[in-house]
Amino acid sequence: MRVTANPISVDVREFDALAGSEAVLAAERELQESRPEKLILRVDRTDPSKNVVRGFRAFELYLYEHPEMRERVGMLALLDPSRQDIPEYAEYLGAIQREARRVNDRYARGGWMPIDLRIEDDFAASVAAYKQYDVLLVNAVFDGLNLIAKEAPLVNTRDGVLVLSENAGAHDELGDYALTINPFDVAGQARALHTALELNAEERRRRIEGIRARVREHDLSAWLEQELRALEGAASSRS
């Protein structure tokens, strides 16, 4: 038996085209009208493994420790409801909603709401948010890969920083350019959010350009070629 590991990638040309599509541009204009000075983004399914509740608690802790950032920073959570016919998944969606409400009840003031939670399947809005984030939070408990960590930096226009779980498969490829977090460590995630928001422009640019270079070099076509070579190698050795 031969085992190879070829992490799948994304269609780079597709995302380049999507970023300039009318649907995405319209969603982006709407987001720009309401976005805070600094935007933390997460785009996920509502699976328990995505660790949304701990992410909200980390953001709450960040606001507690950095009161100067209240009303200046917000978290946009674009979540796709997942497997709601399974009781555990339905309950976790309820926990997500309760946690967002609790944080907002604690810190909201004036027209500012810390967590903007949107539960819907809206791909154009997700790509628009990809373009506008200052920090992208991917704190999955465990994730086979996580393509969002690859997709979003491709189209981001603000040199956004990736905060990435060490248990996401994408960390093997992108870890050198991300801020690494333990998904169970809420305090560590809060510190990473602070670090990401405070990084200087040069370091932000270095990190996102490193991610882009990796994803563009190892795109979907490169992944397919690797798969075919592995199959050919297996067939040759067998014959």
- Convert the pLDDT of each residue in 191-223 to its tens digit: 999 999 999 999 999 999 999 999 999 988 888
For range 19-38, the mean pLDDT: 97
- Which residues are registered as beta bridge partners of 221? none
d(CA 45, CA 83): 9
- Please state which of the ranges 81-85, 115-119, 189-193 shows the lowest mean pLDDT: 81-85
Question: For the whole model, what pTM was predicted?
Answer: 0.94
| pLDDT tens-place string over residues 66-79 | 999 999 999 999 99
Q: Residue 220: what pLDDT?
A: 87
Any idea which residue has 């269609």 for tokens? Answer: 11
- Please state which of the ranges 9-18, 53-62, 93-102 shows the lowest mean pLDDT: 9-18
The conformational region for residue 75 under phi > 0 = left, psi -120 to 50 = alpha, else beta, is beta
Does the structure show a pLDDT above 70 at 137?
yes
Written as one letter, the residue type at 91 is E
The conformation of residue 145, written as its DSSP 8-state character, comes to -
Does the structure show a pLDDT above 80 at 239?
no
Number of H helices, E strands in the chain: 10, 6
156-166: b (≥16 Cβ within 10 Å) or e: beebbbbbbbe
Does the structure show a pLDDT above 90 at 232?
no
d(CA 132, CA 110): 23
Q: Percentage of the chain with pLDDT > 70?
A: 100
For range 50-72, the mean pLDDT: 98
For range 138-167, the mean pLDDT: 97
Confidence bin at 7 (pLDDT 50/70/90): confident
Any idea which residue has 């950032």 for tokens? Answer: 69
Confidence bin at 237 (pLDDT 50/70/90): confident
d(CA 222, CA 177): 21
